[in-house]
């Protein structure tokens, strides 16, 4: 057997640019899915889950029913996706507020009024809250309503109690009251005024339960 070293194998050729458009197809698919969800949020918010059909969603999105079915197996799957987006939007609305002092009742007031603004302006927030009410009609697992939001309020109020900026014997109880008042107020505002006065109604809650911590500047 020879001791001569074999010459190293040449490197594998680098892939050359091609006309592969898979990334463009993926981007189009993401865009189409977002379009469907925006359309679904609009029609769910306006008409409610029981009354809405796949055709309604497709028409609102200016797509075919087949395009909708390509992304979602049925109306229930769309509703679940809209509900997920509802909670994502809530987090998105609240996030800038949480960049400030989390031991001040002002932050709690800002969270409440920021969410109220979302109920007034954002179709996903409007649709998500309505879908929570219509849970018995949606035959698919849905998120348990407002658990994370209640936990957030509890944490903020506990921070306030520890810092001595707010007197409350039970932050968790106050958090539950504020949560119920907020989501109850948006519902009544929806029925009575199409949510046009929801920020004012939530401000009243802030004024009653967090006195001296009014509308943030």
Residue 13 has pLDDT above 80, yes or no: no
Gyration radius (Cα) of the chain, Å? 25
State how far the alpha carbon of 207 is from the alpha carbons of 87, 93, 117, 201, in Å: 26, 21, 17, 10
How large is the average pLDDT for residues 90-102? 94
- Dig out the tokens for 186 from the structure: 């948006």
Q: What's the pLDDT tens digit per position in 118-158? A: 999 999 999 999 999 999 999 998 888 999 999 999 999 99
State whether the Cα torsion 22-26-27-28 is positive or negative. positive
pTM over 0.85: no
Q: What is the number of residues in the chain? A: 217
Q: Residue 16 has what pLDDT? A: 47
Measured between alpha carbons, how far is 213 from 105 in angstroms, rounded to an integer?
7
Run of H or E including 129: helix 123-133
| Least confident interval from 6-10, 42-46, 86-90, 152-156 | 6-10
Q: Residue 213 has what pLDDT? A: 64
Q: Residue 20 has what pLDDT? A: 58
Q: Residue 179 has what pLDDT? A: 96
Give yes or no for a contact between 67 and 58, defined as CB atoms under 8 angstroms apart: yes
Residue 3 has pLDDT above 50, yes or no: no
Give yes or no for a contact between 78 and 36, defined as CB atoms under 8 angstroms apart: yes
pLDDT band at 44 (very low <50, low <70, confident <90, very high): very high
How large is the average pLDDT for residues 56-72? 97
Run of H or E including 192: helix 171-193
How large is the average pLDDT for residues 62-73? 96
Residue 18 has pLDDT above 80, yes or no: no
How does the average pLDDT of the chain come out, rounded? 89
Classify each residue of 157-187 as buried b or exposed e, where b means 16 or more C-beta atoms within 10 Å of its C-beta.
bbbbbeeeebebeebeebbeebbebbbebbb
Q: Residue 124 has what pLDDT? A: 96
How large is the average pLDDT for residues 28-50? 96
How large is the average pLDDT for residues 17-30? 74
pLDDT band at 211 (very low <50, low <70, confident <90, very high): confident
Q: Residue 60 has what pLDDT? A: 97
User: What DSSP state is assigned to residue 197?
Assistant: T
């Amino acid at each position: 057997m020879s001791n001569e070293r074999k010459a190293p194998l040449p490197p594998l050729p680098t892939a050359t640019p091609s006309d592969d458009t898979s990334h463009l197809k993926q981007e189009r698919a993401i865009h189409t899915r977002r379009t469907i969800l925006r359309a679904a949020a609009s029609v769910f918010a306006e008409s409610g889950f029981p009354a809405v059909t796949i055709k309604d969603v497709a028409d609102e999105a200016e797509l075919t029913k087949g395009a909708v079915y390509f992304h979602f197996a049925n109306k229930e799957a769309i509703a679940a996706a809209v509900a997920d987006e509802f909670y994502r939007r809530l987090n998105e609305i609240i996030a800038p507020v949480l960049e400030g002092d989390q031991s001040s009742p002002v932050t709690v007031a800002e969270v409440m009024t920021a969410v109220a603004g979302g109920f007034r302006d954002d179709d996903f927030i409007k649709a998500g809250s309505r879908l929570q009410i219509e849970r018995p009609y949606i035959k698919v697992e849905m998120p348990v309503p407002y658990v994370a939001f209640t936990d957030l309020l509890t944490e903020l109020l506990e921070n306030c109690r520890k810092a001595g900026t707010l007197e409350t014997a039970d932050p968790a109880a106050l958090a539950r009251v504020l949560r119920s008042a907020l989501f109850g107020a948006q519902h009544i505002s929806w029925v009575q005024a199409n949510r046009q006065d929801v920020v004012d109604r939530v401000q009243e809650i802030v004024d009653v339960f967090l006195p001296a911590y009014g509308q943030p500047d």
